Structure 1
Amino acid sequence: MFLQTFRDALVSIIGGEKAGAFRDLLFSLPASLGKRKSSLTLEEDAQRAREEGLPTLSEKSVKNHMMRLSALWNQLYQRELVTRNPWTGWSFENGQKTIRRSWTARELALLASASWHSTSVPEQTFRLVTLIAAYSGMRLGEIYVLRKEDLQSVDGIPCFLIRPHTETGWAPKTDAGTRIVPVHSKLIEAGVLVLKETTNVPYLISGIETSKQGIRGAALGRAFSLFKTHIGLPAEITFHSPAHRLHTTQKRRCQHPGSMDRPPAGS
């Protein structure tokens, strides 16, 4: 991992500066790192985690990575190939980690009313993705890759199918991520079901580009981060914060299907 980021170098010139930079990078990497194949560099994975508000590596995981390098450097020190071990003495309390929270009703109202200024992502696409996120609890990465065939009727109920895409290598973060999500009545009113017939691309939502690294929706994630800062929303809420409000509501709907026509609290 260190070589992938900083490339090969003489061990004698690797000191505290690079060790500290590697520690900071580790703290910014998604917790799902290594659980599925990825063509992204570590920096790109870290950027994706920031843009999508993903959970990042724990203090224990970062410490384990650093300890492995420290063990190697202890051997190098014994062989007098280095003069010191730059991997020891670090704190593994990540004071920079932001505690995420749900949106307030005021913040949701501000998000809905503020003017969209991005030129890289159509406003209609942003509004549609935001609406699906608010009324489904799905993550950005899951929404971006929805294909037309992922919108199906299950027992007479329109549903999103969150499942692996073998042709692109995309898969949910965990096995539990493969699931069926009922389409909320508000999304039906907004015309989501019609997207299956009107979009001219294999994906359900048009207007979302794929980056050179093969990440669909990277531009939207960046645009949302800039938009959030522009309208004065705090760092502790992310694009996925509306989803946090849905977990209890979704459980209630599973137990009481008749509540499907009620929107999530605060939406």
Structure 2
Amino acid sequence: MPENYGKSSKDHRTVFELVEDSKKNNLGKISEKTIKNHFARLSSIWNYYLLRDLVDRNVFIGWKFDQKYKVRRIRWNDEQLQTLMNSDWNSPTISPKTFGYIVGLGSYAGMRLEEICRIRLQDIIEIRGISCIFIRDHTARKNRPWEKWSPKTEAGERVVPIGQSLINADFLRFVAHQRNIKQYYLFSDLRFPGKDKKRSDAFQQAFSRFKLRKKIPKGVDFHSFRHNVSTKLRNLPEGQQGLRESWLDDFLGHEGQNKSVGNVVYLDMIDVENLKKVADSVGISRLLGYTKIY
């Protein structure tokens, strides 16, 4: 089955038609992890049927799955970035501007998708004259338990200075506009909570469909932007180097190679100027010259 199976309620093709289309267009297949999740849910239904003598056995148990299976993520190459750059975003629920800035934060700040979609206006702060995004634990407002959230790792809680490339793309003006109309979340047109209780669900599905329509292969996904950023920073041309490894880890929210009590970077000790150098260096690399959507 193709990896976008079940993601559109308007697709009424049969299983055989979907499989044939997948073969014909060389589409990516659903992962073994997804298959395992489907089997687990169907097994629960079949257990219900067994208790009521509607079936004689549970056909969804006893299967073996590769527990170590992972999608191998691949960096965006220049051709794929060009395809992304020259394609119009046409989601009926997510605006081109939201799409543009989410992609911009992924490709210039290396942020994870859920981190981006969870940004609240109160998380955009100024430290020593530098505009930053403060990625931190969220508490839920009254009767909104789904708003409670924590970064992926301890190192994930961090300060990300906004690089010059995003500033040049009027990102701060967009932030000011959202504040003026008194929004809570920066990207207010995202539906929330999503099916998996993630604020990124709707965007993730729309981006996946968009990517598949453009024949961008499986493994090249939104998270691949982080790989692009990390690789670009660690392979800057001579003359643009001088960035410490610890700065790169702090910027991207990696644990780092020498993690210890003495190496933990607390918020009040962060050298924001150094992190701003990292943020601006991503722009110098021209990872994604995607300005049309802004």
TM-score by length of 1: 0.64
1:92 paired with 2:66, answer yes
Structure 1 residue aligned with 2:190: 208
Equivalent residue in structure 2 for 1:176, among 145, 148, 155: 155
What are the Cα deviations for residues 196-234 of structure 1, in whole angstroms up to 9, with x where unaligned? 321131112232221464432322111111100111100
What are the Cα deviations for residues 86-116 of structure 1, in whole angstroms up to 9, with x where unaligned? 36xx353666x43111101121111111122
Equivalent residue in structure 2 for 1:222, among 197, 200, 205: 205
- Tell me which amino acid in the other structure corresponds to 2:154: D
Structure 2 residue aligned with 1:261: 280
Please tell me whether the aligned partners of residues 110 and 229 of structure 2 are also in contact (alpha carbons under 8 angstroms): yes
Q: Point out where structure 1 has 5 or more consecutive residues left out of the alignment.
A: 20-85
Q: How many residues in Structure 1 have an aligned counterpart in Structure 2?
A: 197
State the distance in 2 between where 1:161 and 1:184 align.
Answer: 14
CA 1:140–1:152 in 2, change beyond 3 Å: closer, same or farther? same
- 1:258 positional shift: 4.5
What are the Cα deviations for residues 23-58 of structure 1, in whole angstroms up to 9, with x where unaligned? xxxxxxxxxxxxxxxxxxxxxxxxxxxxxxxxxxxx
Any idea what SS the aligned residue of 2:100 has?
helix
Any idea what SS the aligned residue of 2:85 has?
helix
What are the Cα deviations for residues 113-148 of structure 1, in whole angstroms up to 9, with x where unaligned? 112222121122111111111111111111111011
Of all paired residues, the percent bearing the same amino acid is 29
CA 1:206–1:212 in 2, change beyond 3 Å: closer, same or farther? closer
Map residues 123-138 of structure 1 onto 2, 5 A cutoff.
123-138=96-111
Structure 2 residue aligned with 1:186: 165
Kindly report the root-mean-square deviation, in angstroms, between the aligned alpha carbons of the 2 structures.
Answer: 2.9
Please tell me whether the aligned partners of residues 120 and 223 of structure 1 are also in contact (alpha carbons under 8 angstroms): no
Map residues 1-12 of structure 1 onto 2, 5 A cutoff.
6-7=44-45, 8-9=47-48, 10=50
CA 1:4–1:173 in 2, change beyond 3 Å: closer, same or farther? farther
CA 1:162–1:4 in 2, change beyond 3 Å: closer, same or farther? farther
State the distance in 2 between where 1:227 and 1:179 align.
Answer: 31
Please tell me whether the aligned partners of residues 104 and 266 of structure 1 are also in contact (alpha carbons under 8 angstroms): no
State the distance in 1 between where 2:67 and 2:135 align.
Answer: 35
Map residues 141-156 of structure 1 onto 2, 5 A cutoff.
141-156=114-129
State the distance in 1 between where 2:177 and 2:43 align.
Answer: 43
1:18 paired with 2:39, answer no
CA 1:180–1:248 in 2, change beyond 3 Å: closer, same or farther? farther
Please tell me whether the aligned partners of residues 195 and 205 of structure 1 are also in contact (alpha carbons under 8 angstroms): no
State the distance in 1 between where 2:193 and 2:139 align.
Answer: 19
Equivalent residue in structure 1 for 2:88, among 86, 106, 115: 115
CA 1:137–1:259 in 2, change beyond 3 Å: closer, same or farther? closer
Please tell me whether the aligned partners of residues 43 and 60 of structure 2 are also in contact (alpha carbons under 8 angstroms): no
Q: Which has the higher helix share?
A: 1
State the distance in 1 between where 2:173 and 2:202 align.
Answer: 25
